Amino acid sequence: MENWYIKIMASDAWIFVSHQLTWLSLAGLAIAFRSTAMKWFQLVLDRTQVGVTDDRQDRILGGGAAVGIFSFFLLMDLNLIFSMIVSTIVFFIAPSIIRKRRFKLYQSSFDATLVESLSTISSSLKAGLTLKDSLVLAVQNCPPVFGAEVGRVLKDYRFGMSIDEALDGVRKRVQTQNANIAFGALIIGTQLGGKIPEVLSRIVATIREADRVEGRLRALTAQGRAQGVLLCSMPVLIGVGMYFMDRPKMVYMMTTTVGQVLLGLVVFLEFVGIFATMKVMELEV
């Protein structure tokens, strides 16, 4: 009887040690390859590739996320069917989330270089260059994000598209308020023959003032955003802590039907809370 009890205790101890060693090995791999992973992730979220859609790359990243979540759920001793369903959902929705995130990064990067680039175009026009020559100079001297879009404008113009249509294509691709204002002014200037350098100078001043106000608002709401992140992360941290402190109860909740339903409700409410917090903290200047 005692030998049987000792064998059971040794088996439980071995399972516990193997779980801890698995977590430690995963943490070690994450630390060892964090720089490589960040470089690859930045390539996936390349801000200059707004017009290029690499569905295969997005699907690979989505598959990696699905495999990672599936492995994590197995380590947490979750139900196999539940883990497969969640991983499959992640596999299908992750590529669209990555594309949206890439586009958001591209928009923010384009707006960040807009003031400098418009100043370059305005200075070129004041020096007596034509709009086409100013755009060529912008391709050569402006940041890559802006230069890529202007280069596409010149390419469309060489292929027979009017300059107005080519400039309007930038507004449709970038889809930001600052880009609409800036390139809309260029379109109106080419159609009506107004003083484009003066208009661009006013637009640059307006964008700078808007950026200053937005930075001020972000500074004033920094504490609220930090509190929102803390509140949204607390359920996850509490769940992980309870798993290590009282593992049988957490396993029971994850393996029973009622517990899984309650866990799914918690996850749903967590996403609702994150969405509501993001909407409250969203700034419109």
What is the tens place of the pLDDT at every residue in 151-198? Answer: 888 888 888 888 888 888 888 888 888 888 888 888 887 777 667 788
Residue with tokens 């070129």: 124
Q: Are residues 209 and 226 in the same domain?
A: no
Note the pLDDT of residue 52: 46
Note the pLDDT of residue 36: 59
Q: Are residues 242 and 201 in the same domain?
A: no
Note the pLDDT of residue 143: 85
Confirm whether pTM is higher than 0.95.
Answer: no
Query: Domain for residue 271, yes or no?
Result: yes
Q: Are residues 212 and 119 in the same domain?
A: yes
Note the pLDDT of residue 47: 46
Count how many domains the chain has.
2
- 268: domain range? 221-285
Its sign, for the CA torsion 197, 200, 206, 211, is negative
* Residue 141 per-residue DSSP state: H
Q: Rounded to whole angstroms, what are the CA distances from 33 to 30, 72, 112, 164?
A: 5, 18, 30, 48
Note the pLDDT of residue 50: 45
DSSP string of 26-57?
Answer: HHHHHHHTHHHHHHHHHHHT-TT-TT---HHH
Q: Which residues of the chain have pLDDT under 50?
A: 1-2, 4-5, 7-8, 47-52
